[in-house]
Amino acid sequence: MLIVTSFFASVLTAIYIKLALNVIALRGKNQVSLGNGGVDDLEKAIRAHGNFSEYVPISLILMGCLELNQAPWWLVGIFGLSLTIGRVLHSLGMKDLPPDFSKRILGMKLTLNTLIGLAALNLGWEIFKFLL
């Protein structure tokens, strides 16, 4: 069972929906059906949503693999929390006026370190289990 991964997938889905609703609202407000229409706020919202959708799926797959391979729940949870915080910080940094690059940078650091950690741990976990 993927209890921890399911929990974080649900939380991240709620964030994803919020980001999508931001794009939809700005499209309606600015009457832009395709692209960004030259509207900076819409471009930021599109990229925050797009960036989220680029990083979260592979992270959840790696979390699920780790959990299926019987890593401790708290270890999977640490990565889920790190990913969630990273994604929230990144999207907030995109939305802030003026842009808050410190939030974006910290968000990307957390996200990328989560991906690196999950990939390395999945490899290491399998080697460790194989050697036992």
User: In this model, does residue 130 exceed pLDDT 80?
Assistant: no
Percentage of residues in the chain with pLDDT exceeding 70? 99
Q: Grade residue 18 by pLDDT with cuts at 50, 70 and 90.
A: very high
**So where are the chain's domains?**
3-131
**Helices marked H in the chain:** 3-30, 40-68, 73-95, 101-131
Global pTM? 0.89
Mean pLDDT of 85-98: 88
> What CATH number belongs to 3-131?
1.20.120.550
pLDDT at residue number 126 = 78
pLDDT at residue number 33 = 86
Tokens describing residue 79: 């990565």
Residue 108 CA, distance from chain mean position: 9
Q: Grade residue 35 by pLDDT with cuts at 50, 70 and 90.
A: confident
